[in-house]
Amino acid sequence: MKEIERSIARISSLDFNKPSRNHDLMQSLLLFKEYLRRMLLWSQALAVRGWPFTILAKYIDPSVQIDPTIEDQFKKILYPTPFIRTTCMSYLMWALIENTPIVNSYALPNPYEPLIQMYEGGYYFYREHHVVVIEGMKGEVNTIMLTPDLYNTDIPFISLDI
């Protein structure tokens, strides 16, 4: 299965209405922190502005785009917040370039994987100024500061099983 097909399947199976038994709030916080760390690594490597919510694939290959049919399919899904739609589309664009020589030359981890795992656990986020609020279907809520210095490390916040 191609990476884009696998990514489409993962996004299609997201269910934010069903609490996960495999995730808890602390794990979701760590996954989101790991997403921020990876986005910072990539943003620094590519000299990208707009951390942490930018479409990295466009900086590597400005011509990358998702098939309009697939894009329309995902526009019809009701996501809990607009950021989820944007990050899912960014993840799909990343899947189109992930295994290219230029991406591999950076030797950096997939920036979106931790976020997708958090979504698969039934957790989502929204942004309020310089704070991100992580929320789950069990009613749990916590916040994370959007300060790049907090994530400027080579040490992962969590080990991902994938």
Query: Alpha helix locations (H) across the chain?
Result: 3-12, 25-46, 56-60, 68-75, 82-97, 101-106, 113-120
DSSP-derived letter for residue 89 is H
Do 146 and 35 contact (CB within 8 A), yes or no? no
The mean of the pLDDT values for the chain is 89
CA–chain centroid gap for 108, Å, is 15
Dihedral sign for Cα atoms in the order 109, 112, 114, 117: negative
pLDDT at 98: 95
Whole-number Å distance between alpha carbons of 92 and 87 = 9
| Separation of alpha carbons 16 and 3, rounded Å | 23
| Three-state secondary-structure class, residue 64 | coil
What are phi and psi for residue 135, nearest 5 degrees?
-135, 145
Question: How much is the average pLDDT of 35-48?
Answer: 96
Q: Is the confidence at residue 1, as pLDDT, over 60?
A: no
With 80 as the cut, is the pLDDT of residue 20 above it?
A: no
The string of pLDDT tens digits covering residues 94-153 is 999 999 999 999 999 999 999 999 999 888 898 888 889 888 867 788 899 999 999 999
Tokens matching residue 121: 């656990």
Question: 129 or 55, which is more confident?
Answer: 55
Q: pTM for this one?
A: 0.91
pLDDT, tens only, 81-110: 888 989 999 999 999 999 999 999 999 999
Domain edges within the chain: 3-151
**What pLDDT was estimated at residue 160?**
87
Q: What strands, in cross-sheet order, belong to the sheet with 141-145? A: 123-128, 131-136, 141-145
Q: What is the pLDDT of residue 23?
A: 73
Mean of pLDDT values over 67-92: 86
